[in-house]
Amino acid sequence: MKKFLFGLGMTAIVIVWLIAWTALPWFAVLVLAVLLALWLLFARGGQRTLSVTRVGLSTLAQRLGSTAVIVIGIAGVVAVLVALLAMGEGLSATLRQTGSDDTAIVLRGGSGVESNSVLTRDEIDAIEGAPGIAHDAQGKPVASAELVVVANVPKKSDPNNDTNVSIRGVGDEAWTVRPNVKIVAGRKFAPGLRELDVGASAQKQFAGLDIGNHLKLGGQEWTVVGVFASGDSYESELWGEAKSVASAYRRGSSAESVIARLTSPSAFDQLKAALTSDPRLKVDVSTTQEYFSKQSEGLSKVIRIVGITIGIIMAIGAIFGALNTMYAAVSARTREIATLRAIGFRGVPVVVSVLLETMLLALLGGIIGAAIVWLLFNGYTASTLGSNFSQVVFQFQVTPTLLWTGIKWALAIGFVGGLFPAMRAARLPVTTALREQ
What does the pLDDT look like over 189-216, one tens digit per residue? 998 899 999 999 889 888 889 999 999 8
As a whole number of angstroms, the distance between CA 12 and CA 169 comes to 59
Q: Which domain holds residue 425?
A: 34-96+296-435
Strand locations in 301-368, DSSP E? none
Residue 102: inside a domain: no
pLDDT of residue 138: 87
| 244 plus 329 within the same structural domain | no
| 361 plus 269 within the same structural domain | no
Distances (CA, A) of 194 to 56, 202, 207, 218, 246: 73, 18, 19, 11, 11
Highest averaged pLDDT of the listed ranges 148-162, 251-265, 285-299, 380-394: 251-265
Average pLDDT, the chain: 83
Residue 21: inside a domain: no
| 347 plus 423 within the same structural domain | yes
Give the three-state DSSP class for 102: coil
Check pLDDT > 60 for residue 415. yes
| 264 plus 117 within the same structural domain | yes
3-state SS string for 350-400: HHHHHHHHHHHHHHHHHHHHHHHHHHHHCCCEEEEECCCCCEEEEECCCCH
pLDDT tens digit sequence for 120-169: 999 999 999 999 999 988 889 999 999 998 888 888 877 777 788 889 99
| 212 plus 343 within the same structural domain | no
pLDDT of residue 168: 93
As a whole number of angstroms, the distance between CA 388 and CA 164 comes to 9
**Least reliable range by pLDDT among 214-218, 300-304, 360-364, 403-407:** 300-304
Check pLDDT > 90 for residue 90. no
CA contacts within 13 A on the Cβ side of 173: 23
| 74 plus 182 within the same structural domain | no
Residue 233: inside a domain: yes
| 66 plus 125 within the same structural domain | no
Section 289-313 average pLDDT: 78
Residue 5: inside a domain: no
- State how beta strands 182-186 and 220-229 pair: antiparallel
- What predicted TM-score, i.e. pTM, was given to this entire model? 0.75
Farthest CA pair distance, the chain: 97
As a whole number of angstroms, the distance between CA 372 and CA 75 comes to 9
- State how beta strands 220-229 and 195-199 pair: parallel
pLDDT tens digit sequence for 266-278: 999 999 999 999 8
| 276 plus 305 within the same structural domain | no
| 118 plus 254 within the same structural domain | yes
Give the three-state DSSP class for 137: coil
**Nearest-CA neighbor of 300 among 238, 173, 392, 183?**
392
pLDDT tens digit sequence for 230-242: 888 888 899 999 9
Report whether 134 contacts 141 (CB < 8 A): yes
Strand-pair partners of 144 = 259
| Spatial CB neighbours of 139, under 8 Å, sequence gap ≥ 6 | none
Residue 1: inside a domain: no
Check pLDDT > 50 for residue 247. yes
If one counts the domains in the chain, the total is: 2
pLDDT of residue 91: 78
**Least reliable range by pLDDT among 31-45, 122-136, 318-332:** 318-332
pLDDT of residue 165: 87
> Which of these three, 250, 281, 312, is where a domain ends?
281
| Spatial CB neighbours of 8, under 8 Å, sequence gap ≥ 6 | none
Report whether 316 contacts 86 (CB < 8 A): no
Report whether 311 contacts 132 (CB < 8 A): no
pLDDT of residue 2: 57
pLDDT of residue 336: 63
> Which of these three, 251, 281, 311, is where a domain ends?
281
As a whole number of angstroms, the distance between CA 18 and CA 32 comes to 15
Q: Which residue has the higher pLDDT, 422 or 221?
A: 221
Check pLDDT > 50 for residue 389. no
As a whole number of angstroms, the distance between CA 154 and CA 224 comes to 15
| 176 plus 255 within the same structural domain | yes
Secondary structure tally for the chain: helices H, strands E? 14, 12
Section 424-436 average pLDDT: 62
Give the three-state DSSP class for 228: strand
| 90 plus 143 within the same structural domain | no
Residue 376: inside a domain: yes
| 150 plus 257 within the same structural domain | yes
Residue 311: inside a domain: yes
> Which of these three, 281, 314, 347, is where a domain ends?
281
Give the three-state DSSP class for 427: helix
